[in-house]
């Protein structure tokens, strides 16, 4: 019985804490004439407290 109560408590705590929920995400890739590429990833997440944030990440790769 104690194990059931402990498991229920842990699962309930995890549900209350929550985690970020992805609202939207996108990625745009471009290639230049010299063969180098770049990409821009944008992700919007909603946090457990209801706030929303957007993160943008840029990556460039040069041609060899």
pLDDT digits (tens, 9 = 90+) for 3-60: 766 556 666 555 556 788 999 999 999 999 988 999 999 999 999 999 999 999 999 8
Query: In the chain, what are the domain boundaries?
Result: 20-64
Beta bridge pairs of residue 40: 28, 58
- Distance (Å, rounded) from C-alpha 62 to C-alpha 37? 6
Name the band, by pLDDT with cuts 50, 70 and 90, for residue 61. confident
Q: What is the pTM of this model?
A: 0.54
- Distance (Å, rounded) from C-alpha 54 to C-alpha 14? 24
Ranges assigned E (strand) in the chain: 21-31, 37-46, 52-61
Sheet containing strand 37-46, edge to edge, reads 21-31, 37-46, 52-61
Q: What is the pLDDT of residue 58?
A: 94
């Amino acid at each position: 019985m104690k194990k059931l109560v402990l498991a229920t408590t842990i699962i309930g705590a995890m549900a209350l804490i929550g985690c970020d929920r992805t609202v939207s995400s996108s990625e745009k890739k471009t290639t230049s004439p010299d063969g180098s590429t770049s990409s821009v990833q944008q992700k919007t997440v909603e946090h457990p407290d209801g706030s929303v944030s957007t993160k943008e990440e840029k990556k460039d790769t040069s041609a060899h």
